[in-house]
Amino acid sequence: MFAFPGKRVFARDEAARYLGISRLRLRFLEIARCGPVPFAPGRYRTTELNLYRIELFLRAGLPATEAERRNAQAETLAQNAETPRDPFVEMATLHDLRQVGTFIIGRVAIGIGLFIIVMSHTPLWHFLRQSLK
């Protein structure tokens, strides 16, 4: 944990424990830009982590009071080295990662399809097709 005026800043490991997810999942969320907003690369403020947890609950149609209760629970458990996994946050973050992955795979499939359509009308395509037989 690092000092910041009036706020706590966690490293990625501590932030993952605070949210109740694995460090690797938090890294994937950071790469996909669908997770909590980092203060700096690999550094997260507790306020941003709390806001992200509340957003997950609201998107699922659950009351924000439950998210606030879990935020308060995470605050008390943050001092301990051992924090339990949060099944809801794991499920919701997996959903976010799947959405991003589906979007990327769809765009790649469209790109490959367009490439095949364009290449099928060129002599290079016929040459490649003959050489692969």
pLDDT at residue 37 above 60?
yes
Work out the average pLDDT over 29-39: 93
pLDDT category of residue 30 using cuts at 50, 70 and 90: very high
Alpha helical stretches, state H, the chain: 12-19, 23-32, 46-59, 64-77, 87-119, 123-132
Q: How far apart are CA 81 and CA 121, in angstroms?
A: 62
pLDDT at residue 4 above 70?
no
Q: How far apart are CA 32 and CA 115, in angstroms?
A: 25
Give the single-character DSSP code of 83.
-
- Greater confidence (6 vs 119) lies with 119
- At 116 the pLDDT is 87
pLDDT at residue 3 above 60?
no
- At 16 the pLDDT is 92
pLDDT category of residue 35 using cuts at 50, 70 and 90: very high
Contact at 8 Å (CB) between 15 and 45? no
Contact at 8 Å (CB) between 39 and 48? yes
Question: pLDDT per residue over 64-115, tens digit each?
Answer: 899 998 888 888 776 666 678 889 999 999 999 999 999 999 999 999 999 9
Work out the average pLDDT over 47-56: 93
- At 125 the pLDDT is 78
Interior/surface letters 82-106, b for 16+ CB within 10 angstroms, e for the rest? ebeebebbeebbeebbeebeeeeee
Q: How far apart are CA 118 and CA 110, in angstroms?
A: 12
